[in-house]
Structure 1
Amino acid sequence: MKILTLACVMGGCSLLATAPAVAENPTGTSSVTVVVSALASPQSVVKLYFYNLRDKFLKPQGYAFKKVVQPGGQRQITLPVDLPHGEWAVAITQDMNNNDKLDKNFVGIPTEPFAFSNNVRPTLAPPDFNECKFVVAGPGKVVSIVLTK
């Protein structure tokens, strides 16, 4: 019996050693290109906030990271970023008066241009992460967003 058990364990080890390697690392990163068009100003700074946790979406300092881009006289920007695989959402603002904040009116509605991934257009409340999310699972992902004025 001990010999049979040892043979099974040895055979199992042999099978594990010859198992094929996993083709893709699920915890890897991939290059994603974010294209933001219809900028309100070709000079004002564009801020892109990248979120990967649904409970922190649109919360102060809840973003995973932020990128600040000068449009350089253009009405469209193209930003390549490396993102870990998983679900992501992007919120974008354009700081028209360069005061380093998103200006809002007395009821809290932004008075400066903004946008979200999947071109979600909120009506009465900020969008949910699930509405704005996209999946990063490999190279070549392009996220196109039109800025709302």
Structure 2
Amino acid sequence: MNALPLVSLLLGSLALGSAMPVAPPAAPATETVTVVVSALASTNSVVKLNFYNDPSKFLKSGQMAMQLLVRPDGKSTLSIPVALAPGEWAVAASQDLNNNDKLDKNFLGIPTEPFAFSNNVKPRLAAPTFQECKFTVAGPGQVVTISDWNDF
């Protein structure tokens, strides 16, 4: 009589042991996007690329999804591979000509160092919107070109 509960326990544990383990959630897939930055004002000064994927955080200090600092090392055109999750993104670029680790501005708050945006948006009286600068990451081999710099 004592054998029946033991057999049930063994069979139950075998059934539980053969259950499929629950896999952790997969990390979101990324695609490699090549960002080509050309017509640099300086071939020596750092280029800062701020990537945004949330319209409410676009161009807000410290709110970027990712930031890259790239030294041109004597080149006037840079080709930078970047892994981005699928979706809508926008890039704001600047070049720190005096190497003080910030985008210098005049008394009105207008940058005095070169800056540019994805889609080569050239704002006139106000900062551009995420909608104007956005591009969609949907597959491999995408190229985003930034070549139209705003310098005052």
Q: TM-score range by the shorter chain?
A: 0.7 to 0.9
Instruction: Tell me which amino acid in the other structure corresponds to 1:31.
Output: T
Counterpart of 2:49 in structure 1 is: 48
SS where residue 130 of structure 1 aligns? Answer: helix
TM-score by length of 1: 0.81
Counterpart of 2:150 in structure 1 is: 148
CA distance in 2, matches of 1:109, 1:56: 19
Instruction: Tell me which amino acid in the other structure corresponds to 2:86.
Output: H
1:92 aligns with 2:93: yes
Counterpart of 2:116 in structure 1 is: 115
Which segments of 5 or more consecutive residues in structure 2 lack a partner in the other structure?
Answer: 1-27
- Structure 1 residue runs of 4 or more that deviate by more than 3 Å after TM superposition: none
1:101 aligns with 2:93: no
Following superposition of structure 1 onto structure 2, how do residues 1-149 of structure 1 map, counting pairs within 5 Å? 27-146=28-147, 147-149=149-151
**1:29 Cα deviation after fit:** 1.2
Instruction: Tell me which amino acid in the other structure corresponds to 1:144.
Output: T
SS where residue 50 of structure 1 aligns? Answer: strand
CA distance in 1, matches of 2:87, 2:63: 17
Which segments of 5 or more consecutive residues in structure 1 lack a partner in the other structure?
Answer: 1-26
Instruction: Tell me which amino acid in the other structure corresponds to 1:126.
Output: A
The count of residues paired between Structure 1 and Structure 2 equals: 124
Counterpart of 1:24 in structure 2 is: none
CA distance in 2, matches of 1:101, 1:75: 20
TM-score by length of 2: 0.79
CA distance in 1, matches of 2:85, 2:45: 29
Counterpart of 1:17 in structure 2 is: none
Determine what percentage of the aligned residue pairs are the same residue: 63
**1:143 Cα deviation after fit:** 0.2
CA distance in 2, matches of 1:99, 1:116: 21
CA distance in 1, matches of 2:45, 2:56: 30
Cα deviation code 1:15-54 (max 9, x no counterpart): xxxxxxxxxxxx5211100000000000000000000000
Larger Rg: 2
